[in-house]
Chain A
Amino acid sequence: MHSICSQATAVPRSNFAFDSHAPALPTSKPINLRFCGLRKEAFGFSGLTHSCSSRVRFTSRGHSKRISASAENNGTPPKSFDYDLIIIGAGVGGHGAALHAVEKGLKTAIIEGDVVGGTCVNRGCVPSKALLAVSGKMRELQSEHHMKALGLQVSAAGYDRQGVADHANNLASKIRSNLTNSMKALGVDILTGFGTVVGPQKVKYGKVGFPDNIVTAKDIIIATGSVPFVPKGIEVDGKTVITSDHALKLESVPDWIAIVGSGYIGLEFSDVYTALGSEVTFIEALDQLMPGFDPEIGKLAQRVLINPRKIDYHTGVFATKITPAKDGKPVTIELIDAKTKEPKDTLEVDAALIATGRAPFTNGLGLENINVETQRGFVPVDERMRVIDANGNLVPHLYCIGDANGKMMLAHAASAQGISVVEQVTGRDHVLNHLSIPAACFTHPEISMVGLTEPQAREKAEKEGFEVSVAKTSFKANTKALAENEGEGIAKLIYRPDNGEILGVHIFGLHAADLIHEASNAIALGTRIQDIKFAVHAHPTLSEVLDELFKSAKVKATALSHVPVSEPVAV
């Protein structure tokens, strides 16, 4: 089972720990994902003044009752701490937690052994968005038909590879410095070196060749993230067999590249490479491309993003051995049948991109010092991100967020988890609803989703005995989409007709990633369809796709509407 997962993913998606009434969903749809929406780099400078005044309050703040010092094995925890909160890892998750901690008046430090910004900013979502911006523009310019329909004439579009690569790199450095500055400005201490947990509430950090420093903190958050996962048998040379880390530098644009894994990372890169003139072959271990997407959305996406492009695919196969190009031979990929394990085919291509998901980066964290065993590298946590030790007990004052816990490997999920932890350590219980966290894939057009897929919803409905309905709207009916001549796409709403609860929303179409938030906010706030359908959308905008979606849902008349909170005000 693990090897099956490892082809497509390292992460089963649905072991969300949410609301305890809801039975955990079966770990059915694996997903290989890593993408992000970066939180705003700073909350503004109001946070700065706030933190100054509130730091005084710290001493008066009582310890939470939930926390009971229980450290038999490594001495007693220190009586006074260097910091209120130490975060190991300055990626998007750590950054989000740090900013919120400062806002809450905590004295905060963040330990980073590499560069601030983590995977997302340096080797993930941020530079890939730069490449995708280029690919989107190339696509538009190359689509003669599209241009003609708009009455535009463009002569042959071309690109300069180094220029494109520089754009991605510049964007990453810019966002990185924004992130660093925002933390410095708020008074977060950035400690350089690799952090290791040495005992309860105690962390050491240091660079190789320098003496280690020991710091103590009342609470510790592990936010060490993940690295590209490379299945065994695959030899990565960084030139012809590459991971997303290399691909984002865009050191070459091969004529023909095989992409192992057709999740988000693979899909986004196929968009980039085909726009830049490459041909692409997908290798997917599962029986269909784009596992993890709602099947209907996946089908449509395949029709738009795969079939008309210079892409072919092999599904239901593992790449057991990938050898980089050398001695005048191309990259060779040996495929076996995913089920029978029979050798199936050998591919010869110019390059191979390994997009089989991401593995948690938790080695050397010193978790053994506090009796925590990782599961396939992931740090086990409960629904409040509290770390669970080998005996199934909670480790006090220790939390793990983001890719390292594997709950939902998305940058913004990490950040949300970090904020949830800060809420808890400052005395307010908080459980993050992972079903309200949106996800997006930045192909052209984009794909976005929040909540359950249709099969997941139907399974849940069967178990809990409620009815599920589906509503759909097309971008073809949207004025703004037609004005842009981008009518391809649908939005799909999965809901309960009895009470109007939104179970999931999936969008495939122009700017889908920006459109999903109306739905994700509705889920997060518990807004029902019968209420949100009265919200007004500016015309003509793409957001009307969702407006129509909500309006087309058939919620039973017996479903309760929210009583208006306040009297209508005449203006």
Chain B
Amino acid sequence: MASPFLSNCTISFSSSLKYSTLPRLFPSVSFSSIRFKSTPRRILTVRSKIREIFMPALSSTMTEGKIVSWVKSEGDLLSKGESVVVVESDKADMDVETFYDGILAAIVVGEGETAPVGAAIGILAETEDEIAEAKAKAASKSGASTRSAPPPAPAADSTPAPPKSTPAYAAPTVTEGPRKTVATPYAKKLAKQHKVDIESLVGTGPYGRITPEDIEAAAGILPSKTNVGPVVVAEVKPAAPTKATSDSSAPSSIPPPVPGSTVVPFTTMQAAVSKNMVESISVPTFRVGYPVTTDALDALYEKVKPKGVTMTALLAKAAAMALVQHPVVNSSCKDGKSFSYNSNINIAIAVAINGGLITPVLQDADKLDLYLLSQKWKELVEKARAKQLQPQEYNSGTFTLSNLGMFGVDRFDAILPPGQGAIMAVGASKPTVVADADGFFSVKNKMLVNVTADHRIIYGADLAAFLQTFSKIVENPESLTL
């Protein structure tokens, strides 16, 4: 483990040896003859002068290499022995030099991209006449290449006519006479990367300059992140051009930002909520509502309130007791092929917490008595406020309870969190006139509960039966205190 023994990873070479140990790019003469055989229609003299630059094997264990930087640019004259490209292997960065004189006609694998050992990373033309042909070859190379990084060429092809996409609202300042194009450093970098012609763009930045956003718009890429005031999210490598090029129609569906709007990035908690909500769309859910009379429960609540019992604890306990009798409502569908019956009944309860939402979990709510449950709940809420909940205290729920009754909401619809079978939305309990079987009117407190469930495992009858049980427990709540 001691690093001094990792000496095989160390690059240390005497500089006098430097040039002789540098990897050479063009392995053998046989290359041109192979090319010739495979393309017999071509004339030998032309064909042999366009050479591919290969990803060299810099170490015995190297299977692929990353292009750190091209020392030369397209169109540069190369002479034998000059460094052309810097390649990062699994061990070190090394300059790679050319064996031939010529012109670097095309770069097939751009900076920051990787290619397997032996793959063409650039094309070398012997004379200027062959550059066009070499470029065509490069395009075919990059199109066919299997490397993970996207070929840059198609990006240019599929780019919709850029100028028209520039929004008109940012009026450039007064221009006197012919103005030259001004582009910011990052805009130029992006333009080169995405092969966008800067000259064809109209800048929307200050003084009419071309900004990175202009280039991204022209290249059909979603701005990866938005800068807001001093909140800076810089240094974003244009992450996935793959995606951008494959669905270049996507950006048009994003409405342009309303001028003057502020964009505030999600906090971690908000990002988690967002992710969960989007995931929930993949689950086929349905809802069943049920009115529950709560006079008895309210009376009980008045009695146990001095002992520190909250309505939340009462409802959680009631739900847990109902779940004992209907295990399917406490189950979940993990893979779309089976029921996962949970051995514990863990009631997650949604809590709004400054700017976020979290669901502390009352574990084994069916087994703990009401008072313990209330105490436990109090602790959980305190922890949640202090952001000290442990993961298993908020993600181990098997059934969720969401109560907006205290705000006077009479009914609402909850979204099923991923990984659970059902969620119960509880509205406010309010006096309602009811007629009984004999036609007598009376006023009872009624509360509407609405359960959202995963229909792959829980069917309408299951929910109806569960709600009936729940309703009975609430209407005869003495059992809650046992």
Report B297-312 CB contacts with A as 1/0, cut-off 8 Å.
Answer: 0000000000000000
In the complex, A262 Cα to B228 Cα: how many Å?
Answer: 29
B 166-184 contacts with A by CB, 8 A: 173, 182, 184
State the Cβ distance, A520 to closest chain B Cβ, in Å.
21
CB-CB < 8 A to A159: which residues of B?
230-232
Given contacts A158-B230, A280-B185, contact A330 B4 (CB under 8 A): no
| Residue in contact with B11 in the complex, picked from A281, A472, A479, A547, CB distance below 8 Å | A472
Can you give 28 contacting A-B residue pairs, CB < 8 Å? A138-B232, A142-B233, A155-B266, A156-B233, A157-B233, A158-B231, A158-B232, A159-B230, A161-B230, A256-B184, A256-B185, A274-B235, A277-B230, A308-B112, A308-B237, A309-B235, A310-B185, A310-B186, A328-B173, A329-B207, A348-B209, A350-B206, A454-B15, A472-B12, A474-B92, A476-B9, A479-B3, A548-B4
Most buried by A among B16, B212, B234: B234
Interface contact B173-A476, CB-CB below 8 Å: no
Known: A153-B268, A539-B4. A471 touches B234 (CB 8 A): no
Q: Which residue of the partner chain, among B112, B206, B231, contacts A255 with CB atoms under 8 Å?
A: B206
A265-307: which have CB < 8 Å to B?
Answer: 274-277, 279-281, 300, 303, 307
Given known A-B contacts A155-B265, A548-B7, A311 and B69 have beta carbons under 8 A apart: no
CB-defined contacts of A328 to chain B, threshold 8 Å: 173
B207 touches A330 (CB 8 A): yes
Chain A residue numbers with a CB within 8 Å of B271 are 155
Q: Which residue of B lies closest to A497 (CB)?
A: B14
Given A153-B268, A155-B266, A309-B235, the answer on whether A473 and B184 have CB atoms closer than 8 Å is no
Interface residues on B, range: 35 or more
CA distance A142 to B234 in the complex (A): 7
Q: Is A369 an interface residue (CB 8 A)?
A: no
Q: Do the beta carbons of B86 and A303 come within 8 Å of each other?
A: yes
Instruction: Tell me how far the C-beta of B95 lies from the nearest C-beta in chain A, rounded to whole angstroms.
Output: 9
CB <8 Å contact, A474 and B206: no
Query: A454: nearest residue on chain B (CB-CB)?
Result: B15
B265 near A156 (CB under 8 angstroms)?
yes
Cross-chain contact of B206 among A330, A468, A539 (Cβ < 8 A): A330
Interface positions, chain A 121-175, Cβ under 8 Å from B, are: 138-139, 142-145, 153-161
Residues of A within 8 A of B (CB): 138-139, 142-145, 153-161, 253, 255-256, 274-277, 279-281, 300, 303, 307-312, 328-330, 347-348, 350, 454, 468-474, 476-479, 539-540, 544, 547-549, 551-552, 554
Contact residues in A for B9 (Cβ distance below 8 Å): 474, 476-477
- Given A471-B12, A476-B92, A552-B10, A276 contacting B4 (CB threshold 8 A): no
Nearest to A540 among chain B residues (CB) is: B3
Say if the beta carbon of B13 comes within 8 Å of chain A: yes
**When chains A and B are docked, how far (Å) is the Cα of A86 from the Cα of B426?**
83
Alpha-carbon distance between A328 and B174 when the two chains are bound, in angstroms: 10
> A8 to chain B: closest CB distance in Å?
20
Q: CB-CB < 8 A to A309: which residues of B? A: 235
What sequence of 0s and 1s flags, for each residue 67-108 of chain B, a beta carbon within 8 Å of any chain A beta carbon?
Answer: 011000000000000000010000111000000000000000
What residues on A are CB-neighbors of B1 within 8 Å? 479
What are the 9 closest A-B residue pairs judged by CB atoms, nearest first?
A: A158-B231, A552-B12, A277-B232, A310-B186, A156-B265, A477-B9, A312-B185, A470-B15, A479-B3
Given contacts A472-B11, A473-B10, A474-B92, contact A312 B3 (CB under 8 A): no
A539 proximity list for chain B (CB < 8 A): 2-4
Question: Chain B residues near A279 (CB, 8 Å)?
Answer: 184-186
Q: Which residues of A contact B34 (CB under 8 A)?
A: none
Residue of B nearest to A142 (CB): B235
Nearest CB to that of B227 among chain A residues?
A277
Residues of A within 8 A of B6 (CB): 477, 479
Contact residues in A for B182 (Cβ distance below 8 Å): 347-348
- Bound-state Cα–Cα, A500 to B9, Å: 24
The answer, among A155, A307, A544, for a CB contact under 8 Å with B268, is: A155
A347 to B68, CA, bound (A): 29
- What is the bound-complex CA distance between A457 and B236, given in angstroms? 40
Chain B residues, CB < 8 A from A473 = 10-12
Whether the Cβ atoms of A469 and B14 lie closer than 8 Å is: yes
Asked if B194 CB lies within 8 Å of chain A CBs, one says: no
Query: Which A residue's beta carbon lies closest to that of B230?
Result: A161
What residues of chain B lie closer than 8 Å to A454, measured between beta carbons?
Answer: 15
Asked whether B189 lies within 8 Å of A312 as measured between CB atoms, the reply is yes
Q: In angstroms, how far is the closest chain A Cβ from the Cβ of B4?
A: 7
Contacts A281-B185, A303-B69, A552-B12; is A155 near B267 (CB within 8 Å)?
A: yes
Provide the bound-state CA to CA distance between A25 and B337, in Å.
79
A570 nearest CB across to chain B (Å): 25
Which of B15, B205, B233 is in CB contact (< 8 Å) with A469? Answer: B15
Docked Cα-Cα span, A195 to B206, in Å, equals 48
Q: How distant is the Cα of A143 from the Cα of B235 in the complex, in angstroms?
A: 7
Residue of A nearest to B90 (CB): A476
Quick one: which of B205, B225, B227, B232 has the most chain A CB within 10 A?
B232
Residue of A nearest to B225 (CB): A156
The answer on a CB contact under 8 Å between A310 and B2 is: no
Contacts of A308 in B (CB 8 A): 112, 237
B195-219 interface (Cβ within 8 A of A): 205-207, 209, 212
Within 8 A of A (CB), among B272-316: none
Q: With A156-B231, A310-B185 given, can you name 16 additional A-B contacts, CB distance below 8 Å?
A: A142-B234, A155-B265, A155-B268, A155-B271, A158-B233, A159-B232, A161-B230, A255-B205, A277-B227, A303-B69, A308-B237, A312-B185, A473-B11, A477-B7, A548-B7, A549-B12
